[in-house]
Amino acid sequence: MNKAVKTIIHGHVQGVCYRHWAVQNATQLNLDGWVRNRADGTVEAIFVGKIEDVDEMINRAQHGPSGAKVDKIDVKEALGIVATGFTQKPTVDINQRRGH
């Protein structure tokens, strides 16, 4: 059985190789999805895979790489329609997404 979640990771999570760390850990857990920085200083990620593997990734994400300080993670159900594998995407400016 699979699970898909969208996460927003808050705290000191940019400039500490968080995205690279996420790719390594998600790949190790055989997850599909992606990770990217957001202009507001958070990191956004979609994790798709076996329930126990997605839950493990969320647990790992609460700590992140050394140098990161995660304050909180928002987790919501997602559709899980992603390409196979786990990739790093470019930073997104949330204001551009809203057409501002």
6-59 pLDDT, tens digit each: 999 999 999 999 999 999 999 999 999 999 999 999 999 999 999 999 999 999
Which of 2, 30, 37, 95 is flagged as catalytic? 37
Q: Residue 60 catalytic? A: no
pTM beyond 0.75, yes or no: yes
Under CATH, what is the fold of the domain 2-82?
Answer: Alpha-Beta Plaits (3.30.70)
Distances in Å between the Cα of 59 and the Cα atoms of 25, 62, 99 are 11, 5, 34
* Catalytic residue of the set 19, 60, 95, 98: 19
Q: Is residue 37 among the annotated active site residues?
A: yes
Pairing of strands 43-50, 86-88: unpaired
Distance, CA of 65 to CA of 42 (rounded, Å): 15
Owner of token pair 């994400």: 61
Q: Which of 87, 91, 74 is nearest to 36 (CA)?
A: 91
